[in-house]
């Protein structure tokens, strides 16, 4: 079972002879805790994480899982005061709850002509002073947007496949900008940047590399044949090969 449910109030306990009230003990009404699920979250009725699974210190190997549906979770508030705070509240805002963020991803066109603009969605959920490092396939030319959430590139004058990618550099600990944040003027005070690479955003230029470069411009030819004449529109020029 992927989700176990307890309808009662969790009990605050110690882990063996360790710190008092460092864990939540849960006796599930529906479901169990299985081996290999250590670190899984314990949610409250507001769907917020209040603990991470440590185990069951009274587990009896002679009994089945279903006969002992108990899990003991390290209390999140205790973990917060023992090392989590600098990671989840690097700017020391004093917030006591926080919502999860939406996963950032790269959005942009699936086909471009002479130029394309790509952006990182859900970046507003990321912490202040987050930075962005963009890269692109070798057939593209950089225009603007390095270290921002929008990146613009020029395309070559031939059909091909291409990609752009961004790495998110988010601050951990006390990272204080000096003046206007840029790639060269940040002072690190007990902090650093961690990196999360986003999946590449693939797209085509013109008709793409698989077409044999029959037409060397775009948008794709829109037109029709009428008797012996070719009528085309919505393009700057076209050439047959």
pLDDT number for residue 197: 92
Residues across the chain: 241
Tens digits of pLDDT across the chain (241 residues): 578 999 999 999 999 988 999 999 999 999 888 878 889 999 998 889 999 999 898 888 888 877 888 999 999 999 998 888 887 787 778 888 877 778 899 999 999 989 999 999 999 888 778 889 999 999 999 999 999 999 999 999 888 999 999 999 877 655 554 444 444 444 444 556 778 899 999 999 987 665 444 444 455 444 433 333 443 433 444 444 4
- The closest of 87, 207, 112, 95 to 163, measured between CA atoms, is 112
CA angle 7, 11, 17 (to 5 degrees): 150
pLDDT number for residue 35: 79
- The closest of 111, 178, 102, 180 to 147, measured between CA atoms, is 180
> Which domains, and CATH codes, for the chain?
11-88 (2.40.10.10), 105-211 (2.60.40)
In terms of Cβ atoms closer than 10 Å to its own Cβ (0-12, 13-18, 19+), residue 42 is buried
| Long-range contact set of residues 233-238: C-beta below 8 Å, sequence gap at least 24 | none
pLDDT number for residue 217: 46
pLDDT number for residue 209: 61
């Amino acid at each position: 079972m992927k989700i176990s449910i307890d309808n009662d109030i969790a009990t605050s306990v110690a882990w063996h002879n360790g710190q008092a009230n460092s864990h939540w003990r849960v006796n599930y009404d529906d479901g169990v805790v299985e081996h290999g699920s250590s670190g899984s979250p314990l949610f409250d009725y507001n769907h917020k994480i209040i603990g991470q699974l440590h185990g069951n210190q009274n587990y009896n190997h002679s009994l089945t899982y279903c006969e002992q549906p108990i899990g003991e979770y390290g209390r999140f508030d205790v973990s917060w005061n023992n090392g989590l705070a600098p990671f989840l509240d690097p700017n020391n805002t004093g917030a006591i709850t926080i919502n999860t963020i939406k996963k950032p991803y790269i959005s942009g066109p699936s086909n471009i002509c002479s130029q394309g603009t790509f952006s990182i969605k859900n970046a507003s959920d990321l912490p202040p002073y987050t930075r962005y490092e963009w890269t692109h396939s070798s057939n593209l030319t950089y225009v603007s947007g390095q270290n921002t959430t929008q990146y613009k590139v020029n395309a070559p004058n031939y059909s091909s496949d291409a990609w752009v990618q961004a790495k998110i550099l988010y601050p951990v600990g006390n990272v204080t900008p000096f003046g206007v944040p840029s790639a060269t003027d940040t002072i690190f005070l007990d902090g650093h940047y961690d990196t999360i690479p986003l999946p590449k955003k693939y797209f085509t230029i013109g008709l793409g590399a698989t077409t044999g470069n029959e037409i060397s411009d775009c948008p794709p030819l829109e037109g029709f044949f009428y008797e012996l004449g070719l009528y085309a529109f919505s393009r700057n020029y076209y050439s047959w090969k």
